[in-house]
Structure 1
Amino acid sequence: MRLIQVTDCHLHADPEARSRSGFPLRQLHAVLEHVRRQRPDVLLVTGDVSEDETLASYRHAAEAFSAMACPWFWLPGNHDHPQSMAEQHQIRDDIDLGDWRLLMLDTQVSGQPHGELGQAQLQALAERLEEDDRPTLLAMHHPPLEIGSAWMDAIGLADREALWQTLAAYSQVRAILCGHIHQAFASRHSLREGEVAVYGSPATTDQFLSGSPEFAIDEASRPGYRIIDLEGETLTTWVERVDL
């Protein structure tokens, strides 16, 4: 099973709109062309699909993702309008990956850059984990760990400690995939029953400078995506970059 994560497309209604360092829709198409050659079984989009929250921006995205020869799933980021997303393509919360399971979590706090799961969603997550002990991936927009950039860490997942407390009882959760950070990231969080890996992915649009205490674009980096291969109970993952 090959899952590929793309994230942070930041599209506009205008297909020729610029970002800080490029053209978001052109870059998304270039990334997806590269992804297509990797023969994904599932495409996962971890939020900030749109920059301007317009229906047209989500139509551009849905057309691009639907041209892939595999099922695709998305979740909202802090820049997104979930209702407009759902008009274009259903937002799912539980994806069957055969031997594995993918649970999609909504961390959006309306009008705010930071994320939060909330007690009700955490309780629902515990209930979902109780009913199925297959190896499990979680996907969310905001990172559940500090990444070493002060400005980004201030707008990460606000209730991350509550998330880790919830996951402490469920050893089947093997990894969390997040967006928001516009850079490659890999770390681990230790729990009573073992470790949970946390992976971030480069954006399809602008890249953020790793380790910077203040907001900064990484002008030297390229758009990219993350490959996650699931074989039995083994997870293997790496990042691919795309030349424009």
Structure 2
Amino acid sequence: MRLVQITDPHLHADPAARSRTGIPFAQLQAVVAAVIDERPDAVVVTGDISQDESAASYAAAARLFDTLPCPWHWLPGNHDQRELMAAEHELVDAVALGDWRMLLLDTQVPGAPHGELGEHKLAALAAQLEDDDRPTLIALHHPPVAVGADWMDAIGLKDSAAFWQALSAYPQVKAVLFGHAHQVFSGTVACAGREVDVYGCPAAADQFLPDAEHFAVDAEASPGYRVLTLDAQGASTRVERVKVAI
């Protein structure tokens, strides 16, 4: 089973609109074209689909993702409008991935850059894990770990300790994928005597400078995506970068 993660396209209604280092629509086009060549079985898009929160930006994203040769799923980031996303493509909270499954968590706090799950969503997550012991991936927008950039760590998942506590009783959770950070991240979290893999992904739009105290763009880094191969032995992964001709 081959799963690809795309994150943070930050599209505008105007496909020619520029970001800090490029044109988000052209960047996403290049990322999607490269992902198609990967022949994925499924794609997950981990939030911040839109920058301007316009209906046109979600429609443009959905048209591009519909060119993928496989099912695709998305979840909201802090910039997104859930209703506009759902109007273009269903928002789901669980996806079968062969012998695995993926749970998609909505960490958005309306009007705020940070994320939070809260007691209700954490209880729902525990109930989902209680009902199914298949190897499980969890996808969410906000990092549930510190990524090393002070300003980004201040707007990550606020209740990350409660999140990891909720996972502690469920050894079927093998890995967690996040967006928001616009940079590669790979680490592990000790969780009830086991290690859970945690992965961040390059953005489809601008990249952020790793280990920065204050907000900074990494103008030298290219857009990218993450590929995960899921099998009976576990999950292996790699990151690919995409050159965009503009």
Normalised by the length of structure 1, the TM-score is 0.99
Aligned partner of 1:111 in structure 2 is 111
Aligned partner of 1:86 in structure 2 is 86
Compute the displacement of 1:98 (Å): 1.5
Aligned partner of 2:65 in structure 1 is 65
Matched, 1:178 2:148: no
Matched, 1:54 2:54: yes
Distance 2:8 2:80 in 1: 10
Matched, 1:147 2:147: yes
Q: Deviations over 1:85-140 (max 9, x none)?
A: 00000001010012101000000000000000110000000010001001000000
Distance 1:17 1:243 in 2: 18
Gaps of 5+ in 2: none
The one-letter amino acid paired with 1:91 is L
The one-letter amino acid paired with 1:208 is F
- 2:155 partner SS: coil
Aligned partner of 1:22 in structure 2 is 22
Compute the displacement of 1:218 (Å): 0.3
Matched, 1:208 2:203: no
Compute the displacement of 1:238 (Å): 0.8
Where does structure 1 differ by over 3 angstroms across 4 or more consecutive aligned residues?
A: none
Matched, 1:166 2:166: yes
Distance 2:69 2:196 in 1: 30
Gaps of 5+ in 1: none
Aligned partner of 2:132 in structure 1 is 132
RMSD: 0.6
- 1:96 partner SS: strand
Matched, 1:40 2:40: yes
The correspondence of residues 3-14 of structure 1 with structure 2, limited to 5 A, is: 3-14=3-14
Q: Deviations over 1:184-204 (max 9, x none)?
A: 100100011411111000001
Distance 2:233 2:66 in 1: 29
Q: Deviations over 1:221-241 (max 9, x none)?
A: 000000000122410001000
